Amino acid sequence: MITSPAFADRKYALLGLARSGMATLDALVASGAHCMAWDNRAEAREEAADRAEIADPMLADLSGYYGIVVSPGVPLNSHPIAQRSRDTGVPITSDIELFAQARAALPPHKLVGVTGTNGKSTTVALIRHILESAGLPALMGGNIGLPILSRDPLSPNANGVGVYILELSSYQIDITQSLDCDIAVLLNLTPDHLDRYDNDFGKYAASKARLFAMQSAGKTAVFGKNDPATRAIAEAVASRSGSPDVVIPDKTTLTGQQDWASLQGPHNAENTAIAIAVVETLGVTEAQWRPALASFTGLPHRMERMAEHKGILFINDSKATNPASAAPALAAYKNIHWILGGLPKGEGLDECEPFFGNVKHAYTIGEAGPSYAKLLDAKGVKVDASEMLCTAVQSALDNAISGDVIMLSPACASFDQFRDFEARGEHFRKIVQALTHTGKAA
């Protein structure tokens, strides 16, 4: 794990003991810190009892405490811990901020931070894949994979370079104060998670912009160019005195995308252009990154080429939890049997509408199903109101022919029927395997 002498003999209160909370507790205790910890789940409190004082920081005496480490899942715009922090003068912080403070004790390295509404995980995984293909030690963490503090520190290669790549949600950036990324990335911005920002898109965008405010002069800031909010932040960063160097890649200059099986669609052209800008800043050449693009296999539930059966391709894009993230998947293929629906984050499918011509048949599920079925029918899209995912997959398989694509790209959150998008995607996988009698990836 990652530890630091900076934490020794300090006192921290932890609120939330899920995966990142437990990793933070372990790292702090191993660094010589005293920890108070709390979670609403009794089993989590029991698991932490041998390493921490079990007490609720909402009620306990916080005198002498250095910080309150809050899980990113705690909504600071509504949770009373925010007022408790103000009343006691003990700042709220995060595991990402602790990593930032631990960097001084780590072997020489570079740090890449990636944020945005959509495409973060794919871009982070692609950057890591390219770096590792080029022989550079690389490790990804943050909002993807294992918590960063649970990972062993990178050992630099012969050139003295190891690269940490962090996927950063707005929630994580909100409670991070000193993360000075060597390369910071903003992919895109569309309305999402606005319940955490009082339904104010400007506050959400300002949260993302803080990643660049923490950068010092001489570092690099990389931006997408496909939406006005991202471009506005890029312009603001470029105009700031002592700003990092601003890079805005142009995806139209890329060639060879047809050879990158797991990077199809215009959104992945943008993600790839940004990943190339990052790795080239780190010294990777085209001779190194181009073959890596062809060998990249992508991530589960993100436009995943899951299976092929009788010429029909199955795409698992369960991670598309809003219309803006479903639209690129629709743009990437023709003759789509589109399975969509769940817990809606808005009333319409405006971002998807330009690609309705690629949809051969739609199958709606979940809470949004009836309204989406009505909307799609009014737009001339053939649609079945399926309600359940298993019904939708069976109907799509009955209707599809060789050359068609059956795609789960829900444009909705999963919480009406599933624990999370991963559970929804795995359920889709099991249904496809059962109906086609194949577990083979495409």
Looking at residue 265, its pLDDT comes to 86
Closest CA to 338 of 346, 347, 329: 329
* pTM for the full predicted model: 0.85
Tell the burial category of 18 from Cβ atoms under 10 Å away from its Cβ (0-12, 13-18, 19+): middle
Burial readout 40-60 (b: 16 or more C-beta within 10 A, e: otherwise) = eeeebbebbeeebebeebeee
CA distances from 57 to 13, 27, 36 (A): 6, 19, 8
The three-class DSSP label of residue 365 is strand
Closest CA to 166 of 158, 180, 36: 180
CA distance 56 to 352: 45
Residue 223 host element (H or E): strand 220-223
How are strands ordered across the β-sheet holding 383-387? 304-309, 312-316, 405-408, 336-341, 359-365, 383-387
Instruction: Kindly state the greatest CA–CA separation across the chain.
Output: 68
Phi, psi of 74 (to 5 degrees): -80, 120
Residue 262, Ramachandran bin (φ over 0: left; ψ between -120 and 50: alpha; else beta): alpha
Q: What is the DSSP letter of 411?
A: S
Number of helices (H), then strands (E), in the chain: 14, 17
Closest CA to 432 of 265, 268, 262, 304: 304
Show pLDDT as tens, one digit a residue, over the chain (442 residues): 999 999 999 999 999 999 999 999 999 999 999 999 999 999 999 999 999 999 999 999 999 999 999 988 888 889 999 999 999 999 999 999 999 999 999 999 999 999 999 889 999 999 999 999 999 999 999 988 789 999 999 987 766 679 999 999 999 999 999 999 999 999 999 887 788 888 899 999 999 999 999 999 999 999 999 999 999 999 999 999 888 999 999 999 999 999 998 898 888 999 999 999 999 999 999 999 999 999 998 888 988 999 999 999 999 999 999 998 899 899 999 999 999 999 998 779 999 999 999 999 999 999 999 999 999 999 999 999 999 999 999 999 999 999 999 999 999 999 999 999 999 999 999 999 999 985 543 4
